[in-house]
Amino acid sequence: MNLHHHRQRFPRILFLSITLTTLCSLQFPIPTAAGKDRVPTPPLPVLPLPSFSQLKWQQRELIMFLHFGVNTFTDSEWGTGHESPSIFDPAGLNAAQWVSTAAAAGVSLVILTAKHHDGFCLWPSKYTDHSVASSPWKGGRGDVIRELAGAAEAHGGVDVGLYLSPWDRHDRRYGKNLEYNEYYMAQLQELLTKYGDVREIWFDGAKGSNAPNMSYDFADWFAMVKELQSSINLFSDAGPDVRWVGNEKGFAGTTSWSTINRTALSIGNDSIVDYLNTGDPRGTDWLPAECDVSIRTGWFWHKSQSPKKLSDLLEIYYNSVGRNCLLLLNVPPNTTGLISDSDVRRLRELRTAIDTIFTTNLAAECPAKASSIRGGKGGGFGPENVLDKDHLWTYWAPSDRELGHGHYWIEITCGGPVKFNVVRVQEAIGLGQRIKRHEIYVDGDKIANGTTVGYKRLHRLEKGVVGGRRVRVKVLESRGVPLVSSFGLHYDPYWHSKWQ
């Protein structure tokens, strides 16, 4: 049956390929034997793959949280729900300052707490009077979300995300399943139809232990969000687009898979934090981790607190962005309605530090070679691809014949000795996350090793600065053949290793 079928189709395929070959050689004469003159294709992907929106999200690297609301005025973290709207009066609120602070820090997405657990709404919701409409700010005619959306649009390059707390300590419908789910969805509908594009929405799993029982209709919420904003990313402990990293320190696991089994996840479940932290090499869902942490001790602004030291923020950066995670850094506006000068300054220092370390790739001009090349030299998958500016779609791919031998490597050889203390490796995650174990060698000596790589892995060398000419990345284990999209050697002047 199959053979018959095959024979019938064969001439047509042959004809097609002759036609294509003729056409190709007319326009681009390639002096190789017939049958070998096609451009090699990329290897098959290793599933699951990121969606287009997830890929764009991952490339943001650093995004910003804005915790703001009645807690800002009561010096608390979790409001009781009994706060009077009369306390909300950020007389100098200027969302343009939030947006320009974010942009100067290299942040392309800011996420605002539209409603925190206290139930106070930063926009004039039609469905409650517990909002800015009952506050003295702007005579009750203000709308913080409109201010933010307007400022972001006017600035350009900074997108808006929103946080809407499921747990609500103010609204009387909370605890009545039908009524509260209807209320929550009505508010989602307001937030996702009135303010233009919203790129991420945050569903917080936090809930007090004495809170009334409440069963959230997550499936309905998620479906409505996607219907209203199809390219949005939904964040929760359990996705469906972006997952929590399992802690509020801003640290991903040293092993950090963007893949996980969604069926094993639930929202507000303490027993899954370790699984969330590392992900799962056999996971059936692409659900990358977001690392949330505050620039200060608390999430809301408190007069008594000040921003973390630059060295702590850099440690967070290496342990989040440098471990295949996105960093969601909280920067809380103060009671004036502005981001405090000390935080603005610290963010600027952080951006300067990141640029100082990573703008120069000390390996950029060093010739690269590899254990093998898919399709041979000139086929488009050579090791030189790891030194170009594209960190997603140009990459080194080894030959399929290497599969299973475990001897994949890529090596750069510089003209003279190079001094560095950071090694950067990136995978072509558009075709799946693959690397399970890798090692880095300098002139034959092992200087770093680890498990996963993912979108970005940064090794800040424990031993401090090393010098050498030949640097090799060896991949010991991977799902399918490894695909390395970028490689860099960097010098971090802020890193004072305990060995130095």
Ligand X SMILES: *[C@@H]1O[C@H](CO)[C@@H](O)[C@H](O)[C@H]1NC(C)=O
Binding ligand X (rule: CB under 6 A), the pick from 46, 185, 214, 264 is: 264
Least distance in angstroms from the C-beta of 476 to ligand X = 7
400 near 449, Cβ under 8 Å?
no
User: Dihedral, CA atoms, 352, 357, 359, 363, nearest 10 degrees?
Assistant: 170
Query: Which residues are paired to 365 by β-bridges?
Result: none
- Whose Cβ is closer to ligand X: residue 264's or residue 465's? 264
Is the Cβ of residue 250 or residue 450 nearer to ligand X in the bound state?
450
CB of 412 to ligand X, least distance (A): 21
Among 188, 272, 350, 410, binds ligand X (CB under 6 A): 272
Min CB(264)–ligand X separation in Å: 4
Region of 226-234, 269-277, 408-416, 479-487 interacting with ligand X (CB under 6 A) = 269-277
Is 202:161 a contact under the CB 8 Å cutoff? Answer: yes
Please tell me the number of Cα atoms within 13 Å of 28 on its side-chain side.
7
Question: 353-363: b or e for each residue (b if 16 or more CB lie within 10 Å)?
Answer: bbeebeeebbb
Contacts of 14 (CB under 8 A, 6+ apart): none
What is the spatial distance between Cα 120 and Cα 73, in angstroms, rounded to a whole number?
12
Judged by CB under 6 A, the residue of 74, 100, 134, 266 near ligand X is: 266
Tell me if 100 contacts ligand X by CB under 6 A. Answer: no
Nearer to ligand X, 125 or 421 (CB): 421
Nearer of residues 387 and 473 to ligand X, judged by Cβ: 473
Structure tokens at 3: 């053979």
Instruction: Identify the three-state secondary structure at position 186.
Output: helix
Instruction: Return the residue of 189, 261, 305, 306 that touches ligand X, per CB under 6 A.
Output: 261
Dihedral sign, CA of 436, 357, 246, 144? negative
| Footprint on residues 429-448 left by ligand X (CB under 6 A) | 437
Q: Which is nearer to ligand X, 283 or 454 (CB)?
A: 283
Helix (H) or strand (E) holding 146: helix 144-155
Kindly state the tokens that stand for 483.
């695909």
| Nearest to ligand X of 70, 357 (CB atom) | 70
Nearer to ligand X, 2 or 271 (CB): 271
Q: How many residues bind ligand X (CB under 6 A)?
A: 23
Does 212 participate in binding ligand X (rule CB under 6 A)? yes
In angstroms, the CA 307 to CA 73 distance is 19
Query: Which one of 451, 452, 485, 486 is in contact with ligand X (CB under 6 A)?
Result: 451
Site for ligand X contains 450 (CB under 6 A): yes
- Region binding ligand X by CB under 6 A among candidate stretches 122-130, 159-167, 261-269, 314-322: 261-269
324 binds ligand X, rule: CB under 6 A: no
**449 is an interface residue for ligand X by CB under 6 A:** yes
Q: Pick one of 2, 8, 213, 230: the residue that binds ligand X (CB under 6 A).
A: 213
Dist CA 372 CA 376 (whole Å): 8
Stretch that binds ligand X, among 229-237, 339-347, 401-409, 483-491 (CB under 6 A): 339-347
Interaction residues for ligand X, span 274-313 (CB under 6 A): 280, 282-284
Shortest Cβ distance from residue 90 to ligand X (Å)?
9
Distance CA 330, CA 62 (A): 11
Q: Figure out which of the listed residues 8, 28, 219, 341 binds ligand X, where binding follows CB under 6 A.
A: 341
The SS3 of residue 109 is strand
- What is the smallest separation between the CB atom of 251 and ligand X, expressed in angstroms? 17
Selection from 210, 234, 198 nearest residue 114 by Cα: 198
- Matching residue, tokens 């050498």: 468
Nearer to ligand X, 20 or 273 (CB): 273
Contacts 24+ apart (CB under 8 A), 87-90: 87/135, 88/120, 88/132, 88/135, 88/136, 88/137, 89/135, 89/136, 89/137, 90/137, 90/333, 90/335, 90/336, 90/337
Binding site for ligand X (CB under 6 A): 212-213, 261, 264, 266, 269, 271-272, 280, 282-284, 334-336, 338-341, 437, 449-451
